[in-house]
Amino acid sequence: MATKHNWTKEEILEIYNKPLMQLLYDAATVHREFHDPNTVQVSTLLSIKTGGCPEDCGYCPQAARYHTDLEGNELMSVNQVKAQALRAKSSGSSRVCMGAAWRNVKDGPEFDNVLEMVRTINKLDMEVCCTLGMLTENQAKRLEEAGLYAYNHNLDTSEEYYKEVISTRGYEDRLETLDNVRKTNVTVCSGGIIGMGEKAEDRAGMLVSLARLSPQPESVPINALVPVEGTPLEEQQKVSIWEMVRMVATTRIVMPQTQVRLSAGRTDMSREGQAMCFLAGANSIFAGDKLLTTPNPDVNEDMLMFKELGLNVQKPFEKHEQRKTVEKEDSKIGALGEKPKWTRPGHQIDRNLEAQNKKVKA
């Protein structure tokens, strides 16, 4: 069951460009190999500090330099965050992700308050995730000591296209933060956004960067750009549901053990479209009326959709324990020098189908 890390852009593009029905079948097969297809995690994303960011990310309404009529707020109090976390838990969320519009974490009273927020949510028996910008190794260790479960730091797109979207932070800066998180026991959440004007090659390039991380991220959010008036990407056309399905399916095949998070852009997706994403391998959503600053489906609508599709809500910490077991088995296989059963999922499926077709013809 070993995970393949040395994917090439050409291999991933070959998967991405498959006939859609074949791609769906392949991805669903991989998904069932590593995950319960009827279980989806529900997470809540909470903006604990909104607006005023010094970065120039072309998609983000929180950048101070853009005029987006965003109502900003200073860092929330620990009690406010606890109240929101309890509300999220009562609605079915097993993870709370706290986001602050910072370029990087600065040591001091505000970071101390964030650490206390992490401790507080951790005591509620919920997974705690943060997305706070760039981290040093010491700051990552302090978050680990406070009980942080996951740290989100998206690559956004391919290294080649990155400079077309952001100039105030380099691609290597993002990889360095992920490396600092990996020096702790905190899990990694890193993905990207499609629909920013990039090509399919850039989508494949982003997946190459993520897949080559060792271990691969425990979570990969796939976002559809939500164009916001006042940002440089305000006139971008919204991606189609077929593009989202292809991206989710390809991500599932390339990173079979990862939780693929169906993130921003769900308000433009029908239930049928979201169901196809779940079939393709998405096994996590963000609930609540907002994703930091962009609209999101109401949690009651999500629960109704879960009921219609027969989906169960994943319990906190459940997935990480399963993955650790699989990774332990992977290491045993490597130590014995045995050929892993699962090295190139998509290609293995193709070979199996070819063999089946020959039998039918015979």
Residue range 183-208: mean pLDDT, rounded: 96
Q: Is 323 helix (H, G, I), strand (E, B) or coil?
A: helix
Q: Is 60 a catalytic residue?
A: yes
56: in domain: yes
Catalytic residue among 53, 203, 246, 323: 53
Position with higher pLDDT, 314 vs 51: 314
Q: Is 44 helix (H, G, I), strand (E, B) or coil?
A: strand
Catalytic residue among 95, 142, 182, 189: 189
1: in domain: no
Catalytic residue among 169, 261, 266, 323: 261
Residue range 96-108: mean pLDDT, rounded: 90
313: in domain: yes
Q: Is 189 a catalytic residue?
A: yes
59: in domain: yes
pLDDT at 62: 74
Report whether 60 belongs to an annotated binding site. Answer: yes
Segments forming the whole domain that contains residue 255: 9-361
pLDDT (tens digit per residue) in 112-152: 999 999 999 999 999 999 999 999 999 999 999 999 999 99
pLDDT at 120: 96
Report whether 129 belongs to an annotated binding site. Answer: yes
pLDDT at 322: 56
Taking Cα atoms as reference points, which of 96, 108, 4, 114 lies closest to residue 49? Answer: 114
> Concatenated DSSP letters for 225-243?
----TTSTTTTPPPPPHHH
pLDDT (tens digit per residue) in 319-352: 665 555 555 555 554 444 443 333 333 333 444 4
226: in domain: yes
2: in domain: no
Report whether 189 belongs to an annotated binding site. Answer: yes
209 DSSP assignment: H
Q: Is 130 a catalytic residue?
A: no
Q: In CATH, what number is assigned to the domain containing residue 277?
A: 3.20.20.70
H/E stretch holding 45 reads strand 39-49
Q: In this prediction, what percent of the chain has a pLDDT beyond 90?
A: 61
Report whether 130 belongs to an annotated binding site. Answer: no
Position with higher pLDDT, 71 vs 347: 71
Q: Say how many Å lie between the first and final Cα of the chain, rounded.
A: 31
Alpha helices in the chain (DSSP H): 9-16, 20-34, 78-90, 109-122, 137-146, 159-162, 171-182, 200-211, 241-254, 271-280, 299-309, 318-336, 345-361
Residue type, 193: I
When computed from its CA atoms, the radius of gyration of the chain, rounded to whole angstroms, is 20
Q: What is the mean pLDDT of the chain?
A: 85
- Is residue 69 within 8 A of residue 118, CB to CB? The reply is no
Report whether 57 belongs to an annotated binding site. Answer: yes
> Model-level pTM?
0.84
Dihedral of CA atoms 317, 218, 261, 69 in degrees, nearest 10, equals 100
> Concatenated DSSP letters for 105-131?
--TTHHHHHHHHHHHHHHTTT-EEEEE
**What is the number of domains present in the chain?**
1
Report whether 261 belongs to an annotated binding site. Answer: yes
Q: Is 65 a catalytic residue?
A: no
110: in domain: yes
Residue with tokens 């001091």: 108
Catalytic residue among 97, 130, 169, 252: 97
pLDDT at 249: 98
Catalytic residue among 60, 130, 246, 277: 60
pLDDT (tens digit per residue) in 109-121: 999 999 999 999 9
Residue 100: HSE in the Cβ half-sphere, 13 Å Cα cutoff: 25
20: in domain: yes
Report whether 277 belongs to an annotated binding site. Answer: no
Catalytic residue among 95, 129, 174, 252: 129
Position with higher pLDDT, 276 vs 49: 276
